[in-house]
């Protein structure tokens, strides 16, 4: 079988979660399909670095695969529709010439020109119907038998597509995942903290990810103000956001809050292993709160540390309060602080929650995700090898 995975972002030095998600998926596709290639766009100045060997250390990749960056990233930002369509057209032409059996696309616009050439296409979406104007290009081709289906990252998102008229048998729910092998040999808390220069004696709560509005950073600072007996470590964020929250913590006299700044995904596991608990306090102001499937949720579970998250429907597709995590109301810093107090007061319960989370994350490996997607595609097209 010959398969191509199509992205639409410059992956060189990209600090956003979708870049990590694309490359982790591509790695799993490369393990599952003997003849595999990833196509994406790249800024011309980055072109020489857009290959597996140039990105592997940054993203923590282990399985080599063919990665081709077309130096046309600026075209996708153009005001001219013709320029925006050139990348999908180039992808379709390349795939047709290579006689590709299946295109898996994170780009709606690729579907049209690929289907015009009789190529089989699966499209993955992380946004609801109508959120992207390019999506109408996909809507217009729902009757094409070569459009094998649409992959959504949550059941909540799939429900929105069914309500918009997408046939249920053309929708597959495939949440995001994790590289389980990267967490297979964990460090104990003390060793991880010593390695990172952290105090091994005080309880530690860790947040990993961006520091945008709606991510619960305000609530973490509230909890830090209440729980002066704990340290709080925030890992990630763009420099401007790091400075904003670092200044805010310092202005409030929160000496128990540290912002580490951006850490490449390849270097993240020790920060998670250093924690007594891991924080995921998304707020109702998060624009994807109703349908998200956060990468950090699966990495947190795989790290084997107790997870404290916001009680949101999309997260409850994986997390169960009191079984594999503690769930607290959104936008409620004192509730977050109380949950942390519960963890410190009952370490055996916290260990049981973490152990259950570690067991529950096993089906969410990237490899198993790709296996489910391939099974879905073959049900639609039994001739796929």
* CATH topology (fold) of 180-363: Rossmann fold (3.40.50)
Nearest to 237 by CA among 271, 219, 260, 214: 260
pLDDT for residue 83 is more than 80: no
Q: What per-residue confidence (pLDDT) applies to 67? A: 95
Measured torsion, CA atoms of residues 53, 59, 61, 65, in degrees rounded to the nearest 10: -50
Report residue 240 as tokens. 């401007």
DSSP lists the bridge partners of residue 232 as: 205, 257
* Lookup: tokens for 244: 């904003």
Give pLDDT tens digits for 147-206.
Answer: 999 999 999 999 999 999 999 999 999 999 999 999 999 999 999 999 999 999 999 999
pTM to 2 decimals? 0.94
Q: Compute the mean pLDDT over every residue in the chain, rounded to the nearest whole number.
A: 94
Q: Is the pLDDT of residue 344 over 90?
A: yes
Asked whether residue 82 carries a pLDDT value surpassing 80, the answer given is no
The C-alpha torsion from 238 through 241 and 243 to 245, rounded to 10°, is: -140
Same fold, 2-177+365-380 and 180-363: yes
- CATH number for the segment(s) 2-177+365-380: 3.40.50.2000
Instruction: Identify the H or E element spanning 348.
Output: helix 347-360
Of the listed ranges 47-61, 90-104, 144-158, 268-282, the one predicted with least confidence: 47-61
For residues 285 and 252, is the Cβ–Cβ distance under 8 A? no
| H/E stretch holding 35 | strand 35-41
The three-state secondary structure class of 325 is strand
Q: Break the chain into its structural domains and give their ranges.
A: 2-177+365-380, 180-363
Q: What is the pLDDT of residues 303-325, one digit of tens each?
A: 999 999 999 999 999 999 999 99
């Amino acid at each position: 079988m010959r398969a191509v995975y199509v992205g639409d972002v410059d992956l060189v030095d990209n600090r956003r979660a979708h870049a990590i998600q694309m490359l982790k998926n591509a790695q799993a596709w490369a393990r599952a399909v003997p003849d595999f290639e990833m196509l994406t766009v790249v800024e011309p100045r980055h072109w020489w670095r857009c290959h597996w060997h140039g990105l592997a250390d940054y993203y923590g990749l282990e399985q080599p695969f063919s990665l081709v960056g077309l130096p046309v990233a600026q075209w996708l930002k153009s005001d001219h529709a013709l320029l925006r369509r050139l990348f999908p057209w180039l992808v379709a032409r390349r795939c047709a010439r290579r006689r590709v059996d299946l295109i898996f696309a994170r780009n709606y616009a690729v579907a049209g020109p690929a289907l015009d050439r009789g190529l089989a296409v699966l499209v993955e979406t992380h946004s609801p119907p109508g959120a992207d104007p390019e999506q109408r290009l996909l809507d217009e081709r729902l009757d094409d038998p070569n459009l094998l289906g649409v992959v959504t990252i949550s059941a909540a998102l799939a429900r929105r597509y069914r309500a918009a008229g997408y046939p249920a048998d053309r929708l597959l729910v495939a949440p995001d995942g994790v590289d389980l092998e990267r967490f297979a040999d964990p460090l104990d808390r003390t060793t991880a903290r010593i390695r990172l220069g952290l105090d091994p004696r005080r309880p530690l709560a860790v947040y990993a990810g961006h520091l945008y509005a709606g991510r619960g950073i305000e609530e973490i600072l509230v909890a830090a103000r209440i729980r002066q007996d704990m340290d709080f470590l925030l890992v990630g964020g763009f420099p401007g956001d790091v400075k904003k929250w670092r200044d805010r913590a310092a202005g409030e006299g929160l000496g128990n809050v540290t912002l580490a700044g951006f850490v490449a995904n390849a270097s993240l596991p020790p920060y998670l292993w250093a924690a007594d608990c891991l924080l995921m306090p998304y707020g109702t102001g998060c624009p994807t709160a109703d349908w998200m499937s956060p990468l950090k949720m699966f990495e947190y579970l795989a790290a084997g540390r107790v997870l404290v998250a916001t009680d949101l429907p999309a997260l409850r597709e994986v997390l169960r309060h009191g079984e594999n995590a503690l769930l607290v109301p959104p936008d409620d810093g004192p509730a977050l602080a109380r949950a942390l107090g519960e963890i410190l007061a009952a370490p055996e319960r916290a260990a049981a929650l973490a152990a259950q989370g570690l067991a529950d994350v096993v089906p969410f490996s990237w490899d198993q995700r790709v296996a489910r997607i391939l099974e879905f595609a073959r049900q639609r097209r039994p001739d796929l090898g």
